[in-house]
Amino acid sequence: MSNGHTIILNSDYHRRLAHSLIEKAPHGAILNVKAAKRTNDQNALLWSLLSQISRAKPDGRQHAPEIWKCVFMAAAGFPCSFIPTLDGASVVPVGFKSSRLTKVEFSDLIECIFAFAAEKGIPLHDEIDRAA
């Protein structure tokens, strides 16, 4: 028995195929239609931008790119919080993962970073930073 089908609805053919599979699906089958996840290029750009912000140390804030990611996710309206480590000496970010964002949500996150950088006078380049 099949574990299911994943179809990207990017052509009329794929839409017809999906419709055909729905027509043949057994009673009680589950259909999950969702927006596409972020792309690898979007993810690479995110980490480049976060590294640039980290190196700029805006307002003297010295955070690793991973921490900046959570700060920006919270600023963009995505839930993220910090909990203490087991020894209580520091905190770790927890919450919504950027890998679960859709392309549109990820674009909103990136725009939040650009807006912050513009406000703080941090020049960012939007090409992938290979030195990050």
Per-residue model confidence as pLDDT tens digits over 8-19:
888 999 899 999
User: Taking the CA atoms of the chain, what radius of gyration do you get in angstroms?
Assistant: 20
pLDDT tens digit sequence for 73-90: 999 998 777 889 999 999
> Per-residue pLDDT tens for 101-129?
999 999 999 999 999 999 999 999 886 64
Distance in angstroms (rounded) separating the CA atoms of residues 1 and 65: 44
Q: CB neighbours of 53 closer than 8 A, spacing ≥ 6?
A: 65, 68, 113, 116, 117, 122, 124
pLDDT band at 132 (very low <50, low <70, confident <90, very high): very low
Tokens of 81: 């919080």
How do the domains of the chain map onto residue ranges?
A: 1-33, 40-120
Span 51-68, average pLDDT: 95
pLDDT in tens, 87-104: 999 988 777 688 889 999
The model's pTM is 0.72
Tallying the residues shown for the chain, one arrives at 132
At residue 46, does pLDDT exceed 60?
A: yes
The CATH class that applies to domain 40-120 reads mainly alpha
Q: What is the mean pLDDT of residues 1-14?
A: 80
Which residues neighbour 112 within 8 Å (Cβ) at sequence distance 6 or greater? 72, 75, 76
What is the pLDDT at residue 61? 96
Cα 10–Cα 15–Cα 16 angle in degrees, nearest 5:
140
